[in-house]
Amino acid sequence: MSKRLKIAIDGPAGAGKSTLARLLSERLGIPYVDTGALYRALALKAYRLGIREDEEEKLAELAKNSNIEFRRDERGLRVLLDGEDVSEEIRAPHITLLSSPVSQHPKVREALLKLQRELAKEGAVMEGRDIGTVILPDADVKIFLTASVKERARRRYFELKQKGYDVDLEQLEKEIEERDKRDATRNTAPLKMAEDAVLLNTDNLSIEKMVEEALRIVRERCGIK
Ligand code: DC
């Protein structure tokens, strides 16, 4: 398959975007780009510097003056913030929480737009919230991944438990619901499905079935037999 394919995967937290994007990238031989990691890295830097989540100008300046890069090694995709590997730190629950309000600011999103398009230039499986609608409106394939709140909370619960965090399932459900609402109703790049995206619900799909289904969509959309 073509190396320069641009595949956009959008959807709410916990729908399976990262898993799907990573596996599709392996199967198709196209780089994987996790755009949520950009907002997370920015949130981490703001946190360290004591910049508040409502300081839009400062956050946008920070975004412009930060160097966020992706590297691949045997552990998978690594995220470098000004040269420092922050791959684990950006997944901590307090940074997850902070990345949501940080990502709401139009100026912050604008500051990260060019970098995202640059990252997809040579082809990419790019996952996020506004890839099909804003970042890559001309993507070859757009998939909008969903799953019920219960299922997404359950997945996040096991993921965090495995990393040693003490979490509460009900609390996670509540947080996911709130985050969904905020992401869907914000003014800038709200989470919504692109008109030409294909909806894929992962509630009752195994990972293997999800990947197979996505590959079928890619083949169909790109006219590949
Ligand atoms: O996908 P994630 O959980 O790593 O994303 C972290 C935060 O960044 C989340 O609150 C949504 C936001 N985000 C966004 O607004 N736009 C994107 N393209 C990707 C993530």
The enclosing domain of 144 has a CATH number of: 3.40.50.300
Domain range for 129 is 1-31+124-219
Are 141 and 111 contained in the same domain?
no
151-197 pLDDT, tens digit each: 999 998 998 899 888 889 999 999 899 888 887 887 776 788 999 99
Please identify, among 121, 144, 167, the residue that sits at the C-terminal boundary of a domain. 121
pLDDT at 219 (0 to 100): 94
Residue of the CA atom closest to atom 2 of ligand 1: 36
Question: How many angstroms separate the CA atoms of 43 and 52, rounded?
Answer: 9
Question: How many angstroms separate the CA atoms of 211 and 85, rounded?
Answer: 29
Residues whose CB falls within 8 Å of the CB of residue 99, separated by 6 or more in sequence, listed in order? 36, 39, 40, 42, 43, 90
Are 117 and 172 contained in the same domain?
no
Residue of the CA atom closest to atom 18 of ligand 1: 128
pTM here is 0.91
Tokens 């198709």 sit at which residue? 28
DSSP for 90-118?
GGSHHHHHHHHHHTT-HHHHHHHHHHHHH
Q: Is residue 52 part of a domain?
A: yes
Are 170 and 156 contained in the same domain?
yes
Q: Which atom of ligand 1 is nearest to the CA of 103?
A: 15
Our answer on whether the CB atom of 128 is closer than 6 Å to any ligand 1 atom is: yes
Helix (H, G, I), strand (E, B) or coil at 65: coil
pLDDT at 42 (0 to 100): 98
User: Which residue ranges of the chain lie beneath pLDDT 70?
Assistant: 1-3, 189, 225
- Helix (H) / strand (E) element for 77: namely strand 76-81
Ligand 1 pocket test: pick from 103, 107, 160 the residue with the most ligand atoms within 8 Å of its Cβ. Answer: 103
Please identify, among 69, 87, 121, the residue that sits at the C-terminal boundary of a domain. 121
Are 132 and 175 contained in the same domain?
yes
Ligand 1 pocket test: pick from 102, 129, 181 the residue with the most ligand atoms within 8 Å of its Cβ. Answer: 129
Cα-trace Rg, the chain: 17
- Per the document, the length of the chain is 225
> Per DSSP, what are the bridge partners of residue 126?
8, 33
Our answer on whether the CB atom of 25 is closer than 6 Å to any ligand 1 atom is: no
